[in-house]
A = this chain, B = another copy of it.
Amino acid sequence: MRDVSIVGVGIGHWGELWNDSLRDLAVAASLKAIADAGVDRVDSAVIGCMSSGIFTGQEHLASVLGDYLGRGPLPVTRVESACASGALAFKAGYAEVAAGISDVVLVCGAEKMNDLDGSESTYALGTAADQEYEGYNGATFPGLYAMMALRHMHEFGTTRRQLSLVAVKNHANGLQNPNAQFQMAITPEDVEKSAKVADPLRLLDCSPVTDGAAALILVPTELAKKLAPGGAPVAVRGIGHATDTIALHSRASLTRLRAVEVSAERAYQSAGVKPADIHLAEVHDCFTIAELMAMEALGFAAPGQSGPMVERGETAIGGRIPINPSGGLKSKGHPVGATGVAQILEIVEQLRGQAGGRQVKGAKLGLAQNMGGTGGSSIVTILGA
């Protein structure tokens, strides 16, 4: 297997992008990444997208992306793992380069969610849960995460205020991210007074519906040395991937994310590092409780200790281990298929030292954790400067 490095990044502003179609978004991010990498060719591409079929009536994105990039017979693969589609696309692109099948691989993540109205979007997102046993019986995504939150509070004494502080931190970080959907500071009171979605989760505990895309260029590390990209090449140190039961009711514990635990273990092992070695992380905060549970599953906090850790400010920029310096899904936005790619992109920008007002100083080793459904799948990627 060959060593793999990231040499190009491409992303635009995320939000309600009424003038851009899915293909516009994917192509714009991809072209930026190609330009940033300074490559004169692309050998193959992978696109991560959760549900373009339901959201936009368009499957077969492999053909759409190759076509609209103007790259003739480019081999393109579309990968899906619900909200973890982006990082799984990255893993597939990594495998192609590592195997020696392709030298220059484009990985793009994209989702166009605002073409549906709210209830239709909720249905589309519900296809990430167990439709037969959860969705068709009335469970929604916020409802499932609300159950996890209530149980976490019950078992560990996690407080409503600790949940709020996750959202407050991520919005503060997002203020420094020009691409973020919501660039506004919020207070714990704002969160606690926002509309109730599914008790105890309020509107400001939830990531939004977003249109957006992000892209990366992967090459063998040997080739990276011969290019002049827009920033220092960043090495892929390790990737871990795991699944868990699709339905929440099948799990031994509602407060543990087993797919995250196992994927993290695999990533740490392949990188030869441990949680304490990580300087910063992007984690999958689709809901505030998800960030807390991910911190525990990744080994950053002992079970039940994530809430107090956020309260102590240890996960803020400048804290012991900054989490979601990009603003996270909460503030940056969550175009589901794009999120995993954008998390890795944030780590690349941080390790390149190009993160502007949200730069984590001295960051040399970063981790991205992307999750599908209520934790039915997870990919953990570790990157090194």
Q: Is A176 an interface residue (CB 8 A)?
A: no
Rounded to whole angstroms, the CA-CA distance of A92 and B247 in the bound complex is 26
Contact yes or no, A81 B58, CB < 8 A: no
Additional A-B contacts beyond A56-B131, A63-B259 (6; CB < 8 A): A1-B99, A21-B132, A67-B247, A74-B242, A98-B100, A98-B101
**Chain A residues near B (Cβ < 8 Å):** 1, 21, 23, 44, 50-51, 53-54, 56-64, 66-67, 73-82, 88, 91-92, 95-96, 98-101, 123-124, 126-132, 135-136, 241-247, 250, 258-259, 262-263, 372-373, 376-377
Contact yes or no, A76 B377, CB < 8 A: yes
User: So how many copies of this chain end up in the complex?
Assistant: 2
Rounded to whole angstroms, the CA-CA distance of A119 and B75 in the bound complex is 31
Contacts of A67 in B (CB 8 A): 243-247, 250, 376
Contact yes or no, A1 B100, CB < 8 A: yes
Query: Taking chain A's interface residues, is the majority helix, strand, or loop, or is none over half, making it mixed?
Result: mixed
Contact yes or no, A95 B88, CB < 8 A: no
Contact yes or no, B78 A62, CB < 8 A: no
Rounded to whole angstroms, the CA-CA distance of A329 and B336 in the bound complex is 34
Contact yes or no, B372 A73, CB < 8 A: no
Contact yes or no, B60 A377, CB < 8 A: yes
Q: How far is the CB of A339 from chain B (nearest CB, A)?
A: 14
Rounded to whole angstroms, the CA-CA distance of A132 and B96 in the bound complex is 31
Contact yes or no, B372 A63, CB < 8 A: yes
Contact yes or no, B1 A101, CB < 8 A: yes
Contact yes or no, B1 A63, CB < 8 A: no
Determine the residue in chain B with the shortest Cβ distance to A2. B99
Contact yes or no, A82 B58, CB < 8 A: no
Our pick among B74, B95, B130, B263 for the contact of A101 (Cβ within 8 Å) is B95
Q: How far is the CB of A373 from chain B (nearest CB, A)?
A: 5
Our pick among B75, B80, B372 for the contact of A80 (Cβ within 8 Å) is B80
Q: How far is the CB of A334 from chain B (nearest CB, A)?
A: 15
